[in-house]
Amino acid sequence: MEEQNKDYILECTGISKAFGGTQALKNVQLQIKKGEVHALLGENGAGKSTLMKIVIGLHKPDEGEMVFEGQRYAANGPADALRKGISMVHQELNPEPHLSIAESIFLNREHTMKGLPFLNKKETNRQAGIILKRFGIEKDPRTLMEELTLAEVQMIEIIRAVSCDARIIIMDEPTSSLDSEETQHLFHTIRELKEKGVSIIYISHRMEEIFEICDRVSVFRDGEYVNSCPLEGVTNEELIAMMVGRQVKSIFPKIECEIGETVLKVENLSGKGFQNISFEVHEGEILGISGLVGSGRSETMRVIFGLDPKTGGKIFLGGKEIAIKSPKDAISKGICMVNEDRQNFGLCLYRSIRENISLPNLPSRQKGILINQRREKKEAEEVAKVLTVKAASIESEAYSLSGGNQQKVVLSKWVMAKPKVLILDEPTRGVDVGAKSEIHTLMCQFAAQGMAIIMISSELPEIMGTSDRILIYHEGRINGEIFREDITTAKVTQEDILAKEFGQKEGGK
């Protein structure tokens, strides 16, 4: 019956957006009907978030136009979007902890005393009380935000959007931190909103939820629009096929090499965001870790590297159990990690390439209490040359380099450390094509020298092209293991891996 309503409340056409040299969106479209729950689906980096940020005015599109309720629409930031009727409830909720519920709901449109510039707290609280009751929330409107659970904060955000008369509410992974009861409560609210004619754009990686609550779905892939369809009548497999598409396999410079003894072994490791993870990685092996963002893959590696504490399980290195309390412990034992957040965890941007490369390697390069500067410079220059870091001088500051070269500097410092285990988290993110393939070649060379490499990547072609073995994460657990033969013989396809990332059960292997 809804199908008859041909009028779209929001229509985006021909939207393109580039960041620097990276094309985040290419000529995408999106149509939202009044009163529908519309799912956005796609892999990490498919362009969903960028598109939503354009809709609420956090980014300006390079091209394309948006029509909202029959009128040309453009927002100057989230506040403006909310005024015009579009609101977004972010995945990372950041409420003002010291505001009350009432103050949060009426933030930026406070009730004032008649003719005076003073706040009318009584009226604010009264109005908030009425709204809370309407949504069946039994809370005093004077309760402070910091006393609420995540689910409640989310509810308040939704209430705030609705009370601002939002006709479209964008929800980004709204259930990621809710338990099943809270999720059901959220769905109840979504259905109520729908009845009132509010449209919901629902971003989620959880297929069951999408099938349960959404009416239609739009699929994105690599910054491009793939298709939209009603969810009724479409299968899980069909959606996954849409997300993957048929990319031509890139050529990866895989060097096959002898896989040796077990180097690192993890047993029932648990921590924040993952439980009971067990795996082994061997000399000369590249172990690929695949999974959606937030599935626990980076979190596991952070614990192994000592950045976060573990809550259970054991880590063995060369057969001996080891305790890692800090990255310092990990590095001294021969475990190094290239973090996914290169600028934040990888480099001191205003220091030279030389200093960045030698930073973790100083303890063993001292002459008495002083740094052996000649040796330091020589070694840094050598390793930078091997990794083909392109810079005017080894004394150039790191911020002057391109993304690919910055990444090579980060790699250089760990190569100089000669680790037994090298963990790479999204090693080619934001790196240009040339440098990307150079980094792949380097990885293979390190493996050939006997290093054990663990590589996390969101790019399926990359992970399939370089790994000897792939572990697939889903919601904090390993949901499948794939060997290289299965990929080279095309027994396992991108679709199979993606299906496992999205939680499809069936036997691993």
Total residues binding other proteins (CB under 8 A): 58
C-beta neighbour count of 70 within 10 angstroms? 10
Cα of 398 vs its chain's centroid, Å: 25
Q: How far is the CB of 453 from other proteins (least distance, A)?
A: 18
Q: Smallest distance, Å, CB 465 to other proteins?
A: 15
Site for other proteins in 460-489 (CB under 8 A): none
CB of 393: closest distance to other proteins in angstroms? Answer: 5
Segment interacting with other proteins (CB under 8 A) among 202-210, 240-248, 313-321, 323-331: 323-331
Contacts for 479 with CB less than 8 Å, ≥ 6 apart: 472, 473, 500, 501, 503, 504, 505, 508
Looking from the CA of 175 toward its CB, the CA atoms found within 13 Å total: 24
Interface stretch with other proteins, choices 52-60, 205-213, 251-259, 392-400 (CB under 8 A): 392-400
Residue 332 makes contact with other proteins by CB under 8 A: yes
Distance of CA 451 to the CA centre of its chain: 28
Instruction: Pick the binder of other proteins from 93, 259, 386, 394 (CB under 8 A).
Output: 394
Q: Considering only 133-141, 164-172, 340-348, 446-454, which stretch makes contact with other proteins by CB under 8 A? A: 340-348
255 touches other proteins (CB under 8 A): no
Choice between 43 and 173, CB closer to other proteins: 43
Quote the least distance from Cβ 356 to other proteins, whole Å.
8
User: How far apart (Å, rounded) are the C-alpha atoms in residues 360 and 495?
Assistant: 40
Which of 348, 485, 488, 506 contacts other proteins by CB under 8 A? 348
Give yes or no for residue 395 binding other proteins (CB under 8 A).
yes
For other proteins, give the closer residue by CB, 85 or 346.
346
Place of tokens 């790196």: 431
Distance CA 401, CA 97 (A): 39
Applying CB under 8 A, among 149, 247, 393, 488 the residue interacting with other proteins is 393
Compare residues 16 and 332 and give the one whose CB is closer to other proteins.
332
Q: Which of residues 425-444 bind other proteins (CB under 8 A)?
A: 430-435
Q: Which of 328, 375, 505, 509 binds other proteins (CB under 8 A)?
A: 328
* Phi, psi torsion values for 89, nearest 5 degrees: -100, 110
Q: Can you read off the two tokens belonging to residue 372? A: 């052996």
Q: Which stretch binds other proteins (CB under 8 A): 52-60, 100-108, 169-177, 345-353?
A: 345-353
Work out how close the CB of 363 gets to other proteins at its nearest, in angstroms, rounded to a whole number.
7
Angle between helices 150-163 and 180-195 (to 10 degrees): 10
Among 5, 63, 278, 350, binds other proteins (CB under 8 A): 350
249 in contact with other proteins (CB under 8 A): no
Residues 476, 477, 479: CA angle, nearest 5 degrees: 135
Residue 453 vs residues 61, 167, 283, 421, 470: alpha-carbon distances, Å: 39, 49, 8, 6, 12
Give CA–CA dist 434/189, Å, rounded: 49
- Entry field: residues in the chain: 509
Among residues 123, 192, 381, 481, the one that binds other proteins under rule CB under 8 A: 381
Cα of 490 vs its chain's centroid, Å? 28
Instruction: Pick one of 37, 389, 460, 471: the residue that binds other proteins (CB under 8 A).
Output: 389
In angstroms, give the least distance from the CB of 42 to other proteins. 17
Q: Does 305 bind other proteins (CB under 8 A)?
A: yes
Beta strand 86-89 with 8-19 is unpaired
Task: Of 94, 93, 95, 89, give the one whose Cα is nearest residue 144.
Answer: 95
Q: In the window 17-76, what residues touch other proteins (CB under 8 A)?
A: 20-23
Q: How far is the CB of 49 from other proteins (least distance, A)?
A: 18
Who contacts 227 (Cβ-Cβ below 8 Å, separation ≥6)?
Answer: 218, 219, 242
Contact range with other proteins by CB under 8 A, out of 36-44, 123-131, 377-385, 475-483: 377-385
Residue 133 or 328 with smaller CB distance to other proteins: 328
Question: b vs e for 36-53, b when ≥16 Cβ sit within 10 Å of the residue's Cβ?
Answer: bbbbbbbbbbbbbbbbbb
User: Read out DSSP for 440-501?
Assistant: HHHHHHHHHTT-EEEEE-S-HHHHHHH-SEEEEEETTEEEEEEEHHHHHTTSS-HHHHHHHH
Among residues 244, 292, 331, 497, the one that binds other proteins under rule CB under 8 A: 331
- Cβ distance to other proteins smaller for residue 117 or 363: 363
- Distance of alpha carbon 50 from alpha carbon 48, whole angstroms: 6
- Answer for the pair 139, 101: CB distance below 8 angstroms, yes or no: yes
Q: Considering the complex, what minimum distance in angstroms separates the CB of residue 345 from other proteins?
A: 5
Residues that bind other proteins in the complex, under the rule CB under 8 A: 20-23, 305, 307, 326-328, 330-332, 337, 339, 344-351, 355, 358-360, 362-363, 366, 369-371, 373, 381, 384-385, 389-397, 400-405, 413, 430-435
